Chain A
Amino acid sequence: MTQTHADYQLSQLDQLEAESIHIFREVAAEFEKPVLMFSGGKDSIVMLRLAEKAFYPAKLPFPLLQVDTGYDFPEVLACRDRWVDRLGAKLYVASVEEAIKNGIVVDDGKTSRNRLQIGTLLNAIEENGFTAAFGGGRRDEEKARAKERVYSHRDEFGQWDPKMQRPELWSLYNGRLHEGEHMRIFPLSNWTELDIWHYIGREQIDIPEIYYSHQRRVFQRGGMWLSESEFNPCKDGEVVVEKTVRFRTVGDLTLTGCVESEADTIDKIIEEIAVARVTERGATRGDDKFSEAAMEDRKKEGYF
């Protein structure tokens, strides 16, 4: 940012940043026990950067919570640890593995890890008494998200009721809760995928290397390239090949596909996205493919 503004005009990235910082500060001021849901993906890292700016030079006034599917990319976990170290933040890890062992969620062999995260997450929120949970969701991601509030109310079962949402006016957020309820907070509501990338570039933000083009052993399943992994054995007829790829989203590695790409810099990634003809979720997320309303259903149950 330049030091003087002759025309008193803020660029749209600066306006988005200012809005998000405002949201972080409102929540820190008004909620007893907020937490930032950290996935290690680019959106949650941008959230972390904005939170860092909101409270600087003080440390984050809330901890981070990560739901560990057990199927996370090692590069993502390494990046998470770098951020946690640098900010001196407190990190809670809620493990899906543990939740299965303790009978909090049931692994019937058919339900994806992504879906099992819901119970694990809700349990972690309840157990720790978190009253507000920041999520990296953006309204441009998906149709169900387009109607979500910045402050998204969840009942005592963690459910979202799209028909009972509170009207949200100006920048006046209503954080009222009853016992056992919590609020999901979406500071990136008005950011688009391109905004996120421009911001990562401008702020020189450290993100997992797998977002950049690299060589990887992959196989094809359901129209997507999946990473070879011990968690994800190949089925009959699936052949592992080496490709130059990158990931557009990072999640459960058994479900998150990569795209063939030579984009190894932010500029090239932005160029690639600008001409991309498929949404990031449509391209690479098996979890959103099951039905047109997949996201809406998961959200109602308490998904991120």
Chain B
Amino acid sequence: MADNTIEGYTAEKPRQMDLLRFATAGSVDDGKSTLIGRLLLDSKSIFEDQLEAVEATSQSKGYDYTDLALLTDGLRSEREQGITIDVAYRYFATPNRKFIIADTPGHIQYTRNMVTGASTADLGLVLVDARQGLTEQSRRHAVLLSLLRVPHLVLAVNKMDLVDFSQEVFDKIHHEFTQFATKLNIPDLEVIPISALQGDNVVTRSEKMTWYSGPTLMHHLEHVHVASDRDLVDVRFPVQYVVRPKSDDYHDYRGYAGQVAGGVLKPGDEVVVLPSGMTSTIEAIDLFDKEIDEAFPPMSVTVRLADDVDVSRGDMIARVNNAPKPSQDIDAMICWMTNDPLRPRQKLAIKHTTRSARAMVKDIQYRLDVNSLHRDQDTKELGLNEIGRVQLRTTVPLLCDPYSKNRTTGSFILIDEATGVTVGAGMINSGS
């Protein structure tokens, strides 16, 4: 029975649908949870039982309206305290695109959570309250998104209903933010006036802000072009796992499995395996039981080489005249994520692509004040939620690129060897 029915599968849409991952930043007061609730509700991603639960809770708390923010409250301890303690992921879809929201809380552990949410995001959504204008917090959000190289940024000026939908108020915030953004690395910026509570310019165009001619938030999220953000030039293939079936049918099969981190790989390409420097040719690229003509990010494939070279996990396949230089001295921006501060000469475990090693802190060059962009060079350590420029020496060479060139081969995490906890996130400036 199952076989017959499956043949009836005709849906074409999901084959073309693409994906946008975005991170939201802002505190409860900015109306962030209300906005997410609104996006979920208006895209019909909220189910009756979820809405009923939220309506019941709103009533029992004596609210006048259904608090959409309750839709995104996760854990009981959070509901009891009315706070959000961690990054939460939400999902919704429109006919052409699926969205993954990394919803990061505004207060506790702010930087750590924001950096986590932004690390995988194509777009960052910063909310400000139109009555307050830009705050220290909104500037900090923009700095972090820029540091994490999130290529698209949206500033949503919320609560326009509370400033009489005033163009003047909006223009002032718009101007101030654009000025500030010139100091940052933001390739694409959109500023949108909205009211999350009333739905203006969220999904439907506001009739009260006819002076605004730009897209609604949803329209922008649906149409922003993200495919071109990936590096399709510089081939980077970190080897994850060696597939050796050791079966009669595939006696001599030896495939290198991994996820393409950059460039386009094709059979016949001349490649180099790092760090050994041995060269070979791509014989075939397998995707499950099919051989494919090309592989590009973020495909997970298995590469077979024409020659019997020694390749193992942690190695990288690149092009002969375009390969990262193996390096044990790493210069990086590090976001510190634990209470005990990062200090010079500290030893940590490091994970970079599929390579694990140990690293020693050689020097902390400066601490970056994410509010003023001031570089504090007198600093001796990095505390929880602080970001600084650090020099590391690793036990084995890393096969890395600058983070500005490739977010996969330019990033790493630091792990405390005693506790096993992830304590730092690094973005490589350069290896030498």
Spell out A's residues near B (CB within 8 Å): 1, 3-5, 7-19, 21-22, 25-26, 28-29, 52-59, 139-140, 143-144, 146-147, 162-163, 165-172, 174, 176-178, 189-190, 192, 194-195, 198, 200-202, 204-209, 212, 264-267, 270, 276-279, 282-283, 292-293, 296
Contact = CB atoms under 8 A, between A and B. Distances in A.
A1 B351 contact: no
A187 to B, nearest CB: 11
B6 A178 contact: no
In the A-B complex, list the 6 residue pairs whose CB atoms are closest, starting with the nearest: A176-B420, A201-B9, A282-B49, A12-B19, A21-B300, A58-B245
B221 interface: no
Contacts of B253: 57-58
B298 A15 contact: yes
B86 interface: yes
Interface of B: 1-3, 5-11, 14-19, 47-50, 53, 72-77, 85-91, 93, 97-98, 100, 112-113, 115-116, 119-120, 227, 230, 232, 240-241, 243-247, 249-250, 253, 257-259, 264, 286-290, 292-294, 296, 298-300, 302, 313, 337, 349, 351-352, 354, 407-408, 411-413, 415, 420-422, 425
A13 B17 contact: yes
Contacts of A212: 1-2, 5
Contact of B422 (A5, A18, A166, A177): A166
B85 A296 contact: no
Nearest to A288: B49
B90 A146 contact: yes
A2 B270 CA distance: 24
Given A4-B294, A167-B425, A169-B413, A162 B9 contact: no
Contacts of B289: 56-57
A54 B298 contact: no
Instruction: Report which residue of A167, A265, A293 has the largest number of chain B beta carbons within 10 angstroms of its beta carbon.
Output: A167
Contacts of A202: 9, 14-15
A29 B300 contact: no
B56 to A, nearest CB: 10
Given A18-B259, A192-B91, 8 more contacts: A11-B14, A22-B240, A25-B258, A55-B243, A169-B422, A266-B5, A266-B8, A293-B76
Contacts of B294: 4-5
A188 to B, nearest CB: 12
Nearest to B286: A56
27 contacts: A1-B290, A17-B300, A18-B300, A21-B300, A25-B257, A57-B250, A58-B250, A139-B89, A140-B91, A143-B75, A146-B74, A162-B77, A162-B86, A163-B86, A169-B115, A169-B411, A174-B413, A174-B415, A190-B89, A200-B6, A201-B11, A204-B6, A208-B2, A212-B1, A265-B9, A266-B11, A292-B76
Instruction: Report which residue of A16, A22, A57, A207 has the largest number of chain B beta carbons within 10 angstroms of its beta carbon.
Output: A57
A8 B9 contact: no
Contacts of B302: 56
A163 B49 CA distance: 27
B119 A10 contact: no
Given A53-B288, A168-B422, A8 B296 contact: yes
B74 to A, nearest CB: 5
Contacts of A9: 18, 227
A177 B259 CA distance: 25
A189 B115 CA distance: 19
A230 B249 CA distance: 46
Given A22-B240, A147-B87, A201-B9, A276 B14 contact: no
Instruction: Report which residue of B19, B112, B292 has the largest number of chain A beta carbons within 10 angstroms of its beta carbon.
Output: B19
Contacts of B293: 3-4
A171 B422 CA distance: 13
A174 B116 CA distance: 13
A276 B75 CA distance: 25
Given A168-B116, A170-B407, A56 B88 contact: no
B420 A177 contact: yes
Contacts of A13: 14-15, 17
A122 B149 CA distance: 41
Contacts of B93: 192, 194
A273 to B, nearest CB: 10
A206 B9 contact: no
Contacts of A21: 259, 300
A150 to B, nearest CB: 10
A279 B413 contact: no
A297 to B, nearest CB: 8
A276 B50 CA distance: 12
A204 B88 contact: no
A204 B240 contact: no
A248 B302 CA distance: 35
Contacts of A292: 53, 76
A29 B247 contact: no
Contacts of A14: 299
A267 B2 contact: no
B288 A147 contact: no
Contacts of B115: 167, 169
Given A19-B298, A57-B289, A170-B407, A162 B18 contact: no
A209 B18 contact: no
A54 to B, nearest CB: 7
Contact of B11 (A167, A205, A267, A276): A267
A264 B48 contact: no
Contacts of A11: 14-18
